[in-house]
Amino acid sequence: MKRRGFLPAIASAAIALGAQDLAPAPAKRKGRLKQGVTAGVFRGKQMSMDDMCREAANLGIYGFDLVKPEDWSILKKYGLVPTMMPPPFGGTIPDALNRTENHDRIEKTLREAIDIAAAAGCPNVITFSGNRRGMSDDLGADNCVTFLNKVKAQAEDKGVTICMELLNSKVNHKDYMCDHTSWGVGVVKRVNSPRVKLLYDIYHLQIMEGDIVRTIRENFQYLAHFHTGGNPGRHEIDQTQELNYRVVAQAIADLGFTGVISHEYTPVRDPLTSLAEAIDICTV
């Protein structure tokens, strides 16, 4: 290119780069597992969403769970993927799919969420069973299946997975219905869709069942996403708690998992140091 054409081209490129407010390229990710975060792992530091995304990207994180769609542009600025659509599109923990009186309201918002997620490349939308409030587990399962059968075709067409979360009803979420893997898997089997699966929260299932690695191996085809957290207390996943997360991560990777394992704990030490250690523990 001649000088008279080269200099204007450089000037135009500089203006364009400045206008895009580009962030530095994220750190190269290591290991076989895609790792994500939730905002809770940054508790203890006064950090904006921009700050959290920058630090996560610098540590090699792949995605960010449970971020509102209006903030997804910040994630993408740092090369992060919005990996799980937040509530309340699929209901809330106590009020969700096991009660038919919630179905019309949640169907409207969940369908909206599936479209939003598909357009932005978000692979998952979260939903819940709801609390029992005296309802039998069998009836609750029937109601969840009825609802999920209504929306599964849209999820399949859009390539978005509806993830019902497994939570403990012993410590954190009293009376929650989807509190055992067998119950959740039973619902997913009956719906029989590649786009209706479970969010397997390792912390919650350690409290309810234990036997984590065997359970994951036996039910792997029904699990779309994982959350981590140390037990007791839902703190760091290091040597201060009872699970060996290196072994758990190795088992998940060996199964050929292509989804995301996201860290969801409340740190008691420096958040960034704890997150770097959690990433290292799950790098296999």
Tell me the mean pLDDT per 10 residues along the chain, length 284: 38 38 64 97 94 97 97 97 97 98 98 98 98 98 98 98 98 98 98 98 98 98 98 96 97 98 97 97 97
Residue 141, Cβ neighbours under 10 Å: how many? 20
How far is Cα 261 from Cα 53, in angstroms, rounded to an integer?
A: 17
DSSP result, the chain:
--HHHHHHHHHHHHHHHHHTTPPPPPPPP-SSSEEEE-GGGGTTS---HHHHHHHHHHTT--EEES--GGGHHHHHHTT-EEEEBPTTTT--SSSSTTSGGGHHHHHHHHHHHHHHHHHHT--EEEE---B-TT--HHHHHHHHHHHHHHHHHHHHHHT-EEEEEE--TTTTSTTBS--SHHHHHHHHHHH--TTEEEEEEHHHHHHHT--HHHHHHHHGGGEEEEEE-BTTTTB-SSTTSS--HHHHHHHHHHTT--SEEEE----SS-HHHHHHHHHHHT--
Domains of the chain in start order, with CATH, are: 26-281 (3.20.20.150)
How far is Cα 195 from Cα 124, in angstroms, rounded to an integer?
A: 9
Place of tokens 């209706």: 196
Q: Choose among 27, 25, 24: nearest CA to 60.
A: 27
Q: Return the pLDDT at 26.
A: 61
Q: Return the pLDDT at 19.
A: 39
Model-level pTM?
0.90
Q: Return the pLDDT at 78.
A: 97
Residue 239, Cβ neighbours under 10 Å: how many? 11
**Cα-flanking dihedrals φ and ψ of residue 152, to 5°?**
-65, -35
Q: Return the pLDDT at 242.
A: 97
CB 245 within 8 A of CB 214: no
